[in-house]
Amino acid sequence: MSNAREAVSQFAEPGPHEVLRGDLGMVGVPGVVFAPAQGLGLPAVAFGHDWLQPVSRYAGLLRHLASWGFVVAGPDSQRGPLPSYARFAADLRTALEVCVGVRLGDGKISVDGRRTALAGHGIGGGAALLAAADMPRVAAVVTIAVAQTRPSALDAARRVTAPTLHIAAGRDMVTPAAGHAEPIAAAAGGPVWLRTLRKAEHTGFLDGRHWSDVLLTGGPSAKTRQLTRALVTAFLLHHLVDEDRGDVLVDGKVKGTDLVTRA
């Protein structure tokens, strides 16, 4: 598909799969799992939430990815004001390992361990990099308005050789790209794409409302979420299942965004 506008329209819409919702609590990690109703050898993604945010604020994105054929796990841990980034990264690793090791949906759903990815928003993006640095078999990483962490997400990025997409918000007052996404992308140990959404704000990627909104600038944006769904879906389809229909959203010009790449 050569037209970016058509590609955004297509990949921002739900995919062809019926979606089931499950609970991660069965393995001791609070959170949710979204998955296609059935399918064997599916790709899987573990997604980390931002500071203070419940995973429910990402339900639209997680359900969307499941509709396109991904098993998606979202831990709901480390939501306090002083989270442990290392433990959050461990929870992301556990969530992904559960997806790979446990048959879901009464045995009708399984995951191919070679087709896994880590992703997250804000501190969840930083935790995804920490987790990926210790999981060399991960096939891709995606961060959204990534935040620096301790241990350092920047140091972790140097050890991540998997293809990585960083989506930055041009109007981010919480984790400005110049101090977070840009240096982390520059430190990448593998192929990297830094896609800046010029008019997006840090909280534009969220669903609904939450008490923490009073502490943060901006607010949820339907346009930001729509474009993000398309970009993330196309990137993960390309790198996890060799789907090329959305490649214009991986490497091409997309209205309202700026792209920097490094092989």
The predicted pLDDT at position 26 comes to 74
C-alpha triplet 107, 136, 141: angle, nearest 5°:
80
Query: In the prediction, which pLDDT does 211 show?
Result: 79
CA distance 189 to 209: 36
* Distance between CA atoms of residues 74 and 119, nearest Å: 10
Q: What is the pLDDT of residue 114?
A: 95
Phi, psi of 189 (to 5 degrees): -90, 0
Question: Residue holding tokens 């409302």?
Answer: 209
The two structure tokens encoding residue 82:
């002083």
pLDDT tens string for the chain (263 positions)?
569 999 999 999 999 999 999 998 876 789 999 999 999 999 999 999 999 999 999 999 999 999 999 999 999 999 999 999 999 999 999 999 999 988 777 778 999 999 999 999 999 999 999 999 999 899 999 999 999 999 999 999 999 999 999 999 999 999 999 999 999 999 999 999 999 999 999 999 999 988 787 777 778 999 999 999 999 999 999 999 999 999 999 999 999 999 999 98
Q: Backbone phi, then psi, for 92, in 5-degree steps? A: -65, -45
Superfamily of domain 4-262 in CATH is Alpha/Beta hydrolase fold, catalytic domain (3.40.50.1820)
- Angle between helix axes 85-101 and 123-133 (nearest 10 degrees) is 60
User: What distance in Å separates the CA atoms of residue 250 and residue 244, rounded to the nearest whole number?
Assistant: 9
Q: What is the pLDDT of residue 104?
A: 79
CA distance 239 to 235: 6
pLDDT of residue 1: 57
Q: What is the DSSP-derived secondary structure letter of residue 243?
A: -
Q: Are 19 and 10 in contact (CB under 8 A)?
A: no
d(CA 174, CA 249): 26
State the pLDDT at residue 2: 62
